[in-house]
Structure 1
Amino acid sequence: MKRLILIVFIAIVHFAQAQQQHPRAMVDYDFIFDRPFTTCEKKWVIFPKAADAKNYAFGYIYMDEQAGFTFRLQGAFYIDEDKNFILDSAATPKNSITNYRLESNTRLVALVPLIHYAQLKITAEPEWVKSYYTISHDEAYRDFRRGFNFNAARQCDSALVYLEKVYQKNPNYSGLTFEFVYACNELNQYDRSITILQEAIKNEPDNGMFYRELGYAYLGKKDYDDAITTYQKGIDVLGDKADSQKSEMAINLAQVYKFKGETDSYQEWGKKAKLWAPLNSAVYKHIVSLGF
């Protein structure tokens, strides 16, 4: 089953636009656009250009502790017949800072070749970057935020590395349970997720997100009866309000009934899911794509 995107990012520009499926590597001039942005933290990168465009956009990727992976636009350049990188001053910010938050399916990038740093007037580490990585919080907070941001980028294997550190020291760290089990579920570690969530629900019986993730874990194990019970409980916990979380559990519940071959229940819960989903939300579009 396709997992719905749970994290919503803010605006992204045309050269970093999302695609319907995971972007493929591209070869353009001497560049090979084959690197996910999550592997380019604290690096200078180039985005692919349109076939009829002259300039390449380039800049620096860093992780903003609160906002996540961020691209700071440095400017634009073109390549002359001698393969020199020529800055386009008209397309280069002068007295302003232009940052873009990177989505989980942002296009693949290429690294700026070191031999062209001088032509682009950049250094390996820009002066401003140190202030962005000067963090006054404790180690647990830093690891938690990095885990959170890797989860948001759908790089859950990397997220779990940091979240594990926090979990080992303080399993009750604020906000940790959801991020931890979300990563476990994405990595098919369903038994671990179930164990943690069963205990967490005892302490927070009205936390809808816990039921959503627990139902997903049961669904991953094809334990359909427990998935049904969990999703129905989670929907009840959320009460009469209609929102994406309730709708997501409803459409997942519909899918469970579909797997069980119970067509009437599938249709019933699919219709409820659509009714509860906010218009134009990701979950609404997903439900419509299923024919409801």
Structure 2
Amino acid sequence: MYIDEQAGFTYQLGNTFKIDSLNNYLPKAIDSTVNSKYRIEQNWKPVSIIPKEKLSELNLPAEPSWLKYYKENSNKVSYLKNIGYHYNHVGASELALDPLLKAYDIEPHFDGLEFELSFAYNHLGQYEKAILILKRAIENNPKYFYFYRELGFSYKNLNRIEKAEKTYRKGIKMSNNNFEKSEMAINMAQSYFELRNKEKFDEWAKLTKKYAKKGSRYAQFIDLFEQKWNEK
């Protein structure tokens, strides 16, 4: 199993084996026609790692020779950013940090890098670190609305509600993506629901409904908040 820079997590099947009653690993005769690749999606089939001490019984090296071609670019910013993206994409942001920080040290404003790094920090609850990255990113590229989406999320989770609201308004104004607008709006609606600020909640609930598709998860959240308003 390895990460393809473009395709993501990949499983390569090269051969099969069986385990006898004495726990010996017995490979089948090598079939050169067996060399299949599978892209690993979430909730993929269960797998097990072969113990290192059993590799020799299977006539396998510690690392397949072809894997070196995937590592030749391992110090390039584009490669490191893409690896970080694939970790973030499956919710493994703690593993995304290492390649993303290496890339950031080399070229901090590389396309997409600051977003992935701030996303990882936000996912891990390290909001102050995300804010530092995003402020620098916005100074360099003030028109990229995803930076405002992530920055608003950081402020919201630090209970800096006024800053979150101001930031989300900028993001919504810049964005041409209704789903992203609805996500920013629902975050503020939730904050004001928790603060019991009816006037502000109604304002952001209206924006959420404006941008969210009818029957979507965010639209349903607003319905739920409105139903529960008097129950809190």
TM-score by length of 1: 0.61
Paired amino acid for 2:193: K
Structure 1 residue 245: Cα displacement: 1.7
**Ranges in structure 2 where 5+ consecutive residues have no aligned partner:** 225-232
Provide the residue aligned with 1:32 in structure 2. Answer: none
Provide the residue aligned with 1:252 in structure 2. Answer: 187
Provide the residue aligned with 1:162 in structure 2. Answer: 99
Paired amino acid for 2:85: F
2:147 to 204, 210, 214: 210
Provide the residue aligned with 1:129 in structure 2. Answer: 67
Bigger shift: 168-177 or 71-80?
A: 71-80
Provide the residue aligned with 2:2 in structure 1. Answer: 62
Paired amino acid for 2:211: W
2:8 is equivalent to residue 73 of structure 1: no
**Ranges in structure 1 where 5+ consecutive residues have no aligned partner:** 1-60
Paired amino acid for 1:259: E
Provide the residue aligned with 1:46 in structure 2. Answer: none
Write the mapping of 1:98-137 to structure 2, written as runs, cut at 5 A: 98-103=37-42, 109-114=47-52, 116-117=54-55, 122-135=60-73
Provide the residue aligned with 1:222 in structure 2. Answer: 159
In the alignment of these two chains, the number of paired residues is 223
2:134 is equivalent to residue 194 of structure 1: no
Bigger shift: 202-211 or 92-101?
A: 92-101
Alignment partners' CA distance in 2, 1:102 and 1:177: 25
In structure 2, the CA distance between the partners of 1:131 and 1:249, relative to structure 1 (3 Å rule), is same
In structure 2, the CA distance between the partners of 1:165 and 1:129, relative to structure 1 (3 Å rule), is closer
Secondary structure of the corresponding residue to residue 154 of structure 1: coil
Structure 1 residue 112: Cα displacement: 1.5
Q: Which has the larger radius of gyration?
A: 2
Provide the residue aligned with 1:97 in structure 2. Answer: 36
Hey, which of these two has a bigger chunk of helix by percent? 2
Structure 1 residue 63: Cα displacement: 1.4
Provide the residue aligned with 1:47 in structure 2. Answer: none
Q: Is the 8 A contact 2:7 2:39 kept in 1?
A: no
Hey, which of these two has a bigger chunk of strand by percent? 1
Structure 1 residue 233: Cα displacement: 1.9
TM-score by length of 2: 0.73
Q: Percent identity?
A: 34
Alignment partners' CA distance in 1, 2:200 and 2:28: 60
Provide the residue aligned with 1:17 in structure 2. Answer: none
Paired amino acid for 1:68: G
